[in-house]
Amino acid sequence: QVQLVESGGGLVQPGGSLSLSCAASGSIFSINALGWYRQAPGKERELVATVTSGLITTYGDSVKGRFTISRNNAKHTVTLQMNSLKPEDTAVYYCNADQVYMFIDGRVQFTGYSYWGQGTQVTVSS
């Protein structure tokens, strides 16, 4: 099992900045894709940003140029730096780990699961 613990959410004024962090724990060998998704009330969960172990990044259109995702492969952590925040960025932000290789019974095995954190609230309001 992989546990994802997020931190860094909160209340910020429009135009402000916030940083979210997520740490993955468990018998992890490697994680190919780490990312952030968000879900606002009454809306579907949407992609914010992902980063692969090779540091290839993907961003949702609404956050391009404002958000930056980064990761530490050795520590299995991912960070989302959010700048120029807008009220429409208000949502619960979820950390995701996908394509995970774990140590199971003494061997490295591909789990095939996509893991999610519990979510952290980000509110952008004056």
Concatenating the DSSP letter of every residue in 97-108 gives EEEEEEEETTEE
pLDDT at 10 over 90: yes
Whole-angstrom distance, CA of residue 51 vs CA of residue 12: 25
pLDDT tens for 33-83 read: 999 999 999 999 999 999 999 999 999 999 999 999 999 999 999 999 999
pLDDT in tens, 73-111: 999 999 999 999 999 999 999 999 999 999 999 899 998
Residue 1: pLDDT above 90?
Answer: no
Question: How many residues are recorded in the chain?
Answer: 126
What DSSP string describes 31-71?
EEEEEEEEE-TTS--EEEEEEETT--EEE-GGGTTTEEEEE
| Statement: residue 4 has pLDDT above 90 | yes
Residue 107, beta-bridge partner list:
104
Is there a contact between 121 and 61 (Cβ–Cβ < 8 Å)?
no
